[in-house]
Amino acid sequence: MSELFSNIDWYDIWIATLDTLLMLGGSLLFTVLLGLPLGILLFLTGPRQMFQRNGLYAVLSLIVNALRSLPFIILLIVMIPFTKLITGTSLGVAGAIPPLVVGATPFFARLVETALREVDRGIIEATQSMGATTGQIITRALLPEARPGIIAAVTVIAITLVSYTAMAGVVGGGGLGDLAIRYGYQRFQTDVMVVTVVLLLVLVQILQSIGDRLVVHYSRK
């Protein structure tokens, strides 16, 4: 057993796991904070919606599509000057969070837009007929009705962020991915690679099952 895992420094693994969790938590928080309003805006300005604005929707859509089509590994590098500007460093957990957020937010906004479109138009009409303001329609009808869809979107984006954090290792972002590349790949320490991959797998499983449970809990249909 100790033969098999001879290369492993469990303290390093522990620190890397913490870093991954920090990157995941931080970037998920900002992705939701930025992506939810962006998704609502995409929905409202979209075709045949309450605030249909073809021009604005086209511009937002283009930006979202452009960011989504950029490979994350490229985004990581392109973002370095900007990251340094807002966090003071492009390394470690703090350096990884801005590119993670920029990489995940457009995807999350699209998922939110789709979840909102699933809400029956009749519900919007009924709420309008009660004399609701647009803000009330969003907070009292649209978001509660779309809640299971939005929770599913958060789950998808959390798992996407786990794989993005692994890539952040390439530019010195820290975390399990960083460990896997530096020890598992560059130093041929396969056991380190195996342990990190297993840990990432466990993390993804946990996130998915939490998400699934919450979706079931909030689904009333």
Partner 1 sequence: MIEFQQVTKAYQVAGRSIPALHSTELTIEAGQVYGIIGHSGAGKSTLLRLINRLEEPSSGSILVDGEDITALDAPGLRRFRQRVGMIFQHFNLLSSATVADNVALPLRLAGELDRRQIGERVRSLLERVGLSEHADKYPAQLSGGQKQRVGIARALATEPSILLCDEATSALDPHTTRQVLQLLAEINQELKLTIVLITHEMDVIRRVCDQVAVMDGGRIVEQGKVSEVFLHPQHPTTRSFVFDDESSTDQAEDFAHVPGRILRLTFLGEATFAPLLGQVARATGVDYSILAGRIDRIREQPCGQLTLALIGGDVDAAMTHLAAAEVHVEVLRG
The binding site for partner 1 (CB under 8 A) comprises 120, 122-123, 125-133, 136, 140-141, 144-145, 147, 218, 220-221
Cα separation, 80 vs 91, in Å, equals: 9
| Pick 93 or 150: Cβ nearer partner 1 | 150
Q: How far is the CB of 184 from partner 1 (least distance, A)?
A: 46
Find where tokens 């699933």 sit.
Answer: 118
| Pick 71 or 122: Cβ nearer partner 1 | 122
Q: How far is the CB of 55 from partner 1 (least distance, A)?
A: 17
- As to burial, measured by CB atoms within 10 angstroms (0-12 exposed, 13-18 middle, 19+ buried), residue 64 is buried
What distances in angstroms separate CA 93 from CA 15, 50, 66, 111, 154, one per listed residue?
11, 40, 25, 26, 21
| Pick 49 or 87: Cβ nearer partner 1 | 49
In degrees and rounded to multiples of 5, residue 202 shows phi and psi of -60, -45
Q: How far is the CB of 129 from partner 1 (least distance, A)?
A: 4
Token pair for 114:
């789709």
| Pick 187 or 217: Cβ nearer partner 1 | 217
Q: How far is the CB of 89 from partner 1 (least distance, A)?
A: 43
- Specify the length of the chain in residues: 221
| Pick 127 or 160: Cβ nearer partner 1 | 127
Cα separation, 122 vs 127, in Å, equals: 9
Q: Are 82 and 97 in contact (CB under 8 A)?
A: no
